[in-house]
Chain A
């Protein structure tokens, strides 16, 4: 798969011999790098609709942080001898970006936070944490450390979102549901047991999902952990559990 954004992570001149699982990690890293670069693009876009200079600085700082995560993942790929490319134009990621950009067009700061911090970060935190538990050496440590950093981001956004919900619960929940239908449906399709709509355009060869058990992971586990994190985040925001359960139950599989 062609690299869309260059992270200057070309392989060493004398290639090291690949471990049997290196190509699996290559695809896992490619997805993670793509997600981080998309997050960086989202925060950069967000900075353009912020009025408060402090918010602009915050958004740009987040964007730089996400780029740093992408570079760290790319570096981990280089350590195991693979070029983990990225593709922010891949079909699922493109749809996620478009959903975010619609919020930007509407200058919907809260909508942007919901998409990035509640939905995309829930997916990132949960899946990175699972990968962090099973990936070897510094690869695992990097995933675990970035999962922890992303969780801090969510904490910051939660304060803003709780205040917003307290102002008008009904309209906040309606807006969240509308974004859920768009964004979580895409994430659910990405994490489905099989890629039924064809190649995801990020994996280098065939779909990595069937090979994940070779590194003690599974698509079902990553999906379950992500939905768990999402439901817990919505609980913390104060949305009724029976309502969010229905939302999640209705997602595609």
Chain B
């Protein structure tokens, strides 16, 4: 067929300093088509959109290879402005609205309709023209009607419910007259069920007017509801494309997750935890971590195992560790070795033998302008009072002891630094992570929580850290709770993995369980499916 594609991306490759994040991805969307783009966290979806929109982060890191065609014409995008002028719009996950302005003003921002007035005619200055509020309101009304939204256009944005704000964003995009392609980034993430339905209806209506729609999401059932075609990314590669009619939720889940790396037969090595002492237990744990809310998690962690916590971003997996360690306010019951454990008390947690390597390495995990050796000992110093010399009533830090301990850690963990007094800011990501691990180990914990241990670290260092965790577990019998968005990682070293969706445990799997089950649990489809079957 000779129909022109609204958008075509051919063989897009992108690497960040040697780390390949897109390995030859193709994407094609026809006018009036609703095309879904799905994949795990880190599969490459955001990067692909960054390439499409000519974002500075792409150009400042070596650009990309491949070709982009808009409306059949090859384009060379150098900045978001250019692509917007060509008729491509994006509705973001995080709204970019001005709360104190009205809906009309937000929709028309920077593209206001103006009338000439006395002053502007005199000074020939376009900027001094009066706003033509009448026409602007009319246009705004039209866009809102296209979406089927019944709110008044002169209402201020500030008081609107989140769902309506989303619609105002969309109205802003479709008000642009030459819109050819509209990209939606996780649009239903913040919407209620009924709002999501309205949105989907609106999207279908928009598509019927000839606009091409690209829809990025995790929600597989929505994908099948609304999309005509589906592209699945996995690990930066195009895993598959499917037509809606030819596939189902289970297949999509499987393709999303399908692994290539061999699981290091950890399942075979599973030491038979015959005694199965439960070292940490949570009942109905709620954690208020913005963006990663936990809404009732029940877990039993067995002594000596490596327990994995997985799931998509924003579903709450990171909140669990943060909540238990008292960094975010939490409620519920937690039992450590059978005894009730006090929540919201970091000092208490550290004292009782829990240690934590945060996912926010630079923010929470390190004192960037302090030395490696200080970073390693400071928490233990405060919690256990070690590494101090006592002189009567006073104490002073014991530099000698600190240096010795730091040297030991540097050797054991192979931390690459010039000397132990070097500032941690100067170390590479992988080595910074090792310093964080060293600090947690210095506490001598019984349970070690590690969150996103290999995020932002190169492949070589990744393996080192994972091997280190396995070594600690084997040699010291340390219980490790590892939270990670990389399923492959979890499946390579954990004994059991809990998948978190919607702030709750969707299920607990063994690494050897099927890809399909992992995919289903990750996207929250597992329970739905099995409750349907029960009926």
State yes or no: do A and B come from one complex: no
